[in-house]
């Protein structure tokens, strides 16, 4: 399946580029032998950013899947269904 929402796609690409920059920053911190606490703080920020991007992608993907299964209308009528799917994703490491 493809991301059909152009807005979502642009936002995800922007987020992933930001994450890429954060990762490069962590690499530089390691090379510079920066303080471990600073590095852990940046790694935590990277982890949160990846999780946020995953949630955004999953939300778009789940909505598309439900629509393709003929359940798109149900998802619109029952927002708790999407919330349950997002809660499942939140439990994924």
How far is CA 56 from each of CA 10, 27, 63, 70, rounded to the nearest angstrom?
A: 11, 26, 11, 22
Q: What is the pLDDT of residues 10-69, one digit of tens each?
A: 889 999 999 999 999 999 999 999 999 999 999 999 999 998 888 888 887 777 766 665
CB 75 within 8 A of CB 82: yes
Looking up residue 69, the CATH number of its domain turns out to be 1.20.58.1000
pTM attached to this predicted model: 0.69
Structural domain span for residue 67: 6-90
1 within some domain = no
Task: Name the domain count of the chain.
Answer: 1
Residue 31 lies in a domain: yes
The answer to the question of residue 30 being in a domain is yes
CB 77 within 8 A of CB 86: no
Asked if the structure places residue 45 within a domain, the reply is yes
């Amino acid at each position: 399946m493809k991301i059909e929402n152009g807005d979502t796609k642009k936002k995800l690409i922007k987020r992933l580029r930001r994450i890429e920059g954060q990762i490069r920053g962590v690499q530089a911190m390691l090379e510079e032998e920066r303080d471990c606490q600073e590095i852990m703080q940046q790694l935590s920020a990277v982890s949160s950013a990846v999780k946020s991007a995953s949630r955004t992608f999953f939300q778009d993907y789940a909505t598309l899947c439900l629509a393709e299964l003929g359940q798109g209308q149900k998802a619109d009528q029952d927002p708790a269904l999407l919330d349950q799917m997002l809660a499942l994703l939140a439990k994924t490491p």
